[in-house]
Amino acid sequence: MRSLASALSIASLFASLSGCAAGGATPATQDEAVNVVPSWLYAFQTRSLPSQPIRYAAKMPKGGVYAAQFYGVDLFGYQIPNRHDAGPICTLGATSVNGFAVDTAGELVVPNGDPSEVSIYRGHTLCGKSMGSFTDPYGQASDAATWDAATGTIVVGNIRVSGSQKAGNIAVCTLAKGCTTELTSKSITYYGGGVALAKNGDCWIASEDNPSLSSATLTYFAGCKGSGQSAKGWKNAYYGGLIIDKAGNLISIDYSSQALWVYSGCDPTCKVVGGPFSLEGDSFYGGLDRKGNELALGDWQLGQVDIYNYSPTSLTYLYSFSAGLSPSNAVNAATFSPSL
């Protein structure tokens, strides 16, 4: 996962990316000096978001897979299955995207990192029209989760509060009212990562402790309120993306360990259901298909999207595609549309 850093060179970026696979890499925020966290340096250029998607296909399919690159300016839409590595059929403008969300209707929630703005798109086809957007006032938006983007709660994960030394947090938002609540916790001591929202309204955020400690924390918020509790029995070595499966289990991606865990509970006590399952490459964010049987992950290490057959007790690699993507652009996330 990436944070924004100002006045950094492209040469520094590539030098830092070469060290990511060794593990323990952490993002650098937009106000940090170059030598603070050298593994995730980012040279930022101001970009504007187009008001309408650029369409490459004459007729958009109802579903597919989206993929985002942090260092790119587009979020790509692909038809599936894509075993023959066909290129994207449509794009949406996006800036500094880490993770994103798609709901069960296919509506797309894109947290843009800079400016920290969350854009919503209709789900009747891939790369649908804009439904609106809102500003995230609580930090650099990095991930989102929702069951109903149009009228329901949208939780947005923030890496950290912009322009400060505060740790990450969750912003509780809706499309109509924007972000109205900031959730913080003593158990979130450094960068915030993936977020998840249960159907009953509970929510979680995976966060990194001080990177020198090489450890991470899962924080549980009952009803998406209060000061949160540190989940017990969470075995991830590193933080990463979070996904709710059709049985209500919490899928937790273990960034840098190239692994995936499946837990039940975590409210606040976790019970291991499956894993750790090995991944093709190092991944951070992903999402299930509408049936909950296939999982798409953005593989930033190999610069591709990896597709797996998923059940709570097994994970089987199916295929990958990379047309239009680049390892140097950091393929941080991929998600099916519609998604569970």
End-to-end CA distance of the chain: 23
Q: What are the distances in angstroms from CA 139 to CA 102, 172, 303?
A: 21, 12, 27
Q: Which two tokens stand for residue 329?
A: 């652009």
pLDDT of residue 166: 77
Q: pLDDT by residue (tens digit) across 87-99? A: 999 999 999 999 9
pLDDT-based confidence at 4, cuts 50/70/90? low
For residue 154, the cross-strand partners are: 146, 173
Task: Assess whether pLDDT exceeds 90 at residue 45.
Answer: no
Structural domains of the chain, with CATH: 55-337 (2.120.10.30)
- The CA distance from 241 to 266, in Å, is 15
pLDDT tens sequence across 105-116: 999 999 998 889
Angle, vertex CA 156, rays to CA 150 and CA 157, nearest 5 = 160
**Residue 51, pLDDT above cutoff 50:** no
Produce one character per residue of 320-338: b if its CB has 16 or more CB atoms within 10 Å, e if not.
Answer: bbbebbebebbbbbbbbbb
H helix or E strand, kind and range, residue 141: strand 141-146
pLDDT averaged over every residue in the chain: 85
Residue that wins the pLDDT comparison between 47 and 290: 290
174-192 tens-digit pLDDT: 999 999 999 999 999 899 9
| pTM summary value | 0.85
pLDDT score of 331 more than 90:
yes
Residue 320's pLDDT band (boundaries 50, 70, 90)? very high
Q: What's the confidence (pLDDT) of residue 67?
A: 98
Summarize pLDDT for 11-23 with one digit per residue, the tens. 232 233 333 333 3
Q: Which amino acid is at 306?
A: D
Neighbours of 166 (CB within 10 A): 15
